Structure 1
Amino acid sequence: MLWLLAVAVPLLVWFLWWAWRKKQTLVAQFVQSRLLAQLTVGVSQARLKIRLVLIVFAVGCALLALARPQWGFDWEEAKQRGLDIVVAIDTSRSMLAEDVRPNRLARAKLAALDLMKLAKSDRLALVPFAGAAFLQCPLTLDDDAFRQSVEALVVGIIPVGGTALTEAIETAQTAFKEGENYKVLVLFTDGEDHDSNALETAKKAAKAGLKIFTVGVGTPNGELLRVTDESGATGYIKDEQGNVVKSRLDEELLQEIATVTGGFYQALRGANSMETLYEQGLAPLPKSDISSRLVKRYHERFQWPLALACAALLLEMLLPERKRLPRRESLVSAGKAEWGKAVAALSLLLAVPLAASASSASAKRLYEDGKFKESQQEYERLLEKDEKLPDLKEAAKQYEDGKRGEAEQEVTRALQNAKPGDARLHFNAGAAAYKAGDLGKAALHFMLSARDRELKLQERAFYNLGNALYRAGERGPDANEKISRWEKAVESYQGAVQLDPQDADAKYNR
């Protein structure tokens, strides 16, 4: 897993760099570079870099945890549970029959090795037999020792001819330790028994706790026994009367021996014969402790890098991208409720509408009740009532359509007719229009109120004009129009800062 750590972390760093470059390219298509720094003034580049470092660190720690680091250890006693299995293989001359290829003995040896591969946690012993039997390999967990013993088997390894199943069963019993319950014998033979006591011996072995699973090697039809003499001539084995000997598989005897001991008979036919024998016969048997040894148990330490990865991800999620700047408190704010933390700095600097005249009290009440459209209409009615201004609907429409020149002409005509007190009514009308979503009229009203001689009113008008222009830019039909309106918004915030250098919100927004 360490190689994955060495590859994945550089790839992640490259991917994050590529994603950042891609993002910069996309942003450049919508925002001019000279404006980008002003529009992203609230974003902390240092915090962005820290968040990227935290992500890379978290991924690296997670991959390190997957590698399962370990150090420190304790000695523990490890007990291995399994079966004790004695494998007995017939090595008499009848195993030279070729009714199974290449011959019976070769097939029996291959099957014994297949059984060894299946019995991974079991101890195995080997007993070759013919007219007699002996323990060639005692019970062992050493697969190499068992394999070498099996491969060394040849016909004639037992000098006594014939097939003595009784000798095989009795010798197998000597391989087991006293007191163990489940003793297993797997008997590979063609079943040609020259000793009629095999079935009785099997019954006695069953009482001693031995289970015998017989494996029939050969075919019931049998095969002539072919031999080759020293000169290379091929002939057939004959009995004492001179008749050619034909060896046949005695399945009936093998079935009886297996049945009386609680095992079963398995004919050696295909590649899956040993798998069937082990899964259906041996695997279900209860296993006992067959060995114990002291082993090192290393202490897992993956929890440490995993905890660091979780902590880094949590810190990355909690670390904001934006700088923490002071916010101006106001009773009427367009920021927190409508924009959330993403554009909180665009909160309107609108307290309770400015006191204008007694006649505007109803408009103020409508505003305080949240009826912003009705409040806007009431303020505009008051402005039109005294015929102080022309109708601003056309100017607002021109402004929304991007016809800033025509809109400014309407504003200029309005300024020529303005009278003292109009500025406060326009400010309040702009506040109501902004809240009502009528950004065109809001901007025009703030522009008119910004021409007042009172510097504080000018500063508040410029600030809210910037907010209205920013919102109008978001609704712009295309990228150029958005940029144009945002540039004007920056100019308005700059005007507010010039009037009040301590205006933190205006500095933040510009």
Structure 2
Amino acid sequence: MEFANKEYFALLLLLVPYVVWFLLFRKKSEPTMRVSSTEAYRFAPKSWRQRIVHLPIVLRCLCFVALVCVLARPQTYNAWDNKSVEGIDIMMAMDVSTSMLAEDLKPNRLEAAKSVAAEFIAGRPNDNIGLTIFAGESFTQCPMTTDHASLLSLLGSVRTDIAARGIISDGTAIGMGLANAVSRLKSSKAKSKVIILLTDGSNNMGDISPMTSAEIAKSMGIRVYTIAVGTNKVAPYPVPVAGGVQYVNMPVEIDTKTLADIAATTDGSAYRATNNRELSQIYKDIDQLEKTKMDVKRFSKRYEAYMPFALAAFVLLLSEILLRVTVLRRIP
């Protein structure tokens, strides 16, 4: 913590004449009573009120100190922080086509994938992680970052009906989603570069085939872990109808062979998830990836930190007033 207006600390010098006045002249202004001898009171025990008789002046001085600190504008320290941590570079490529609305995983495939991915991200605080989403086309939802709070926020904003509402064209462009993720890792200098590709269908859109993207990933030293999501036969799919939602059984058509070939080409692994538990276990397995050293630069913003001092001044002043008008009240 530092103070923006340090010159205000010069006001603390005013405490010196105030304390001197209190010690030398305060008693002269107080009422007195003459007695012939005070010998009888010499060894009398002191009450607790006598022991705290000077506490109000101490509280008053501390209150003044706190107010001076407020005027000096305390602020948090503002600087770049460089340090080396253990981590890898990961891009998550997630299918958001309308078929991800199927509810064979709970509450549906996409929400289950988002929930498990969020746990995965939270468990790897030192990794550079980014997010690419794809349906009939692909775009980067979040570039690689160690600011996982922002990443989780962007992950949470991915809607289950993003393709259904026409924001992006529907379909499953696995090759485009993988190519987009590869493009984000091409300039990475990390020892280990990984893509986690999650989909529930087969490639039917896009200008780049999945295997072409896999070959490009291999040439760049990127390992791809593929996850095929969905039950083995049919899955309940919600269809809006007048006054509600009707469920129809949608056949599950996942090109597991292509996903396995992508993983094999890039020295990764292919997984199959038919329920939430299996999906969660897959991410736990991937969590055992090797780690490498990387430099992280963090920036902390400056903000005003006067509130604790202002609160302390208020409490001290209130305590001093209460003591002076109650237990330490003097008559006359």
Please give the secondary structure, in 1, of the residue aligned with 2:93.
Answer: strand
The AA in structure 1 aligned to 2:180 is: T
Q: 2:19 maps to which residue?
A: none
1:234 is matched by which residue type in structure 2? Q
Deviations 1:129-158 (A, max 9, x none): 100111111111122211111111123424
State the shift of 1:249 in Å: 3.6
Unpaired runs of 5+ residues, structure 1, are 1-74, 237-243, 296-510
Q: Residue type matched to 1:263 in 2?
A: G
Change (3 A) 1:231 1:161: same
Name structure 2 gaps, 5 residues minimum: 1-79, 301-332
2:108 aligned partner: 103
Query: What is the number of residues matched between the two proteins?
Result: 213
1:198 aligns with: 210
1:137–1:82 Cα change, 3 Å: same
- SS of the residue corresponding to residue 102 of structure 1 reads coil
Of 168, 176, 179 in structure 2, the residue corresponding to residue 167 of structure 1 is 176
Deviation at 1:230?
Answer: 6.2
Q: Is residue 120–residue 287 contact of structure 2 (8 Å, CA) maintained in 1? A: no
The Cα shift of 1:116 comes to 0.8
Greater relative contact order: 1 or 2 (C-alpha under 8 angstroms, separation 6 or more)? 2
TM-score, structure 2 as length reference: 0.57
* Preserved contact between residue 96 and residue 160 of structure 2 (Cα < 8 Å): yes
Query: What are the superposed Cα offsets for residues 223-256 of structure 1, whole Å, 9 maximum, x if unpaired?
Result: 25331146435265xxxxxxx8523343333222
CA distance in 2, matches of 1:104, 1:122: 25
Greater fraction of residues in helix: 1
Which protein shows a greater Rg?
A: 1
**Counterpart check, 1:264 vs 2:269:** yes
**DSSP-derived class of the 2:239 partner:** strand
> Residues of 1 paired with 2:237 and 2:81: CA distance?
56
Quick one: distance in 2 between partners of 1:106 and 1:129? Answer: 15
The offset of 1:162, in angstroms, is 0.1
SS for the counterpart of 2:154 is: helix
2:139–2:180: 8 Å Cα contact kept in structure 1? yes
* Residues 72-471 of structure 1 aligned to structure 2 (within 5 Å): 77-158=82-163, 159-176=168-185, 178=187, 180=189, 181-195=191-205, 197-229=209-241, 231-234=243-246, 236=248, 245-268=250-273, 269-271=275-277, 273-274=279-280, 276-278=282-284, 280-292=285-297
Percent of aligned positions that are identical: 28
Deviations 1:266-288 (A, max 9, x none): 2334547445545x545342413
Change (3 A) 1:76 1:170: closer
2:86 touches 2:291 (CA, 8 Å); kept in 1? no
Write 1 or 2 for the structure with the bigger share of strand. Answer: 2
Range with greater deviation from structure 2 (134-143 or 282-291):
282-291
Q: 1:273 to 1:245 in 2, by over 3 A?
A: closer
Matched residues in 2 for 1:76 and 1:225: separation?
Answer: 49
What is the Cα deviation at residue 82 of structure 1? Answer: 0.7
> For residue 370 of structure 1, what is the aligned residue in structure 2?
none
Return the letter of the residue paired with 2:216.
K
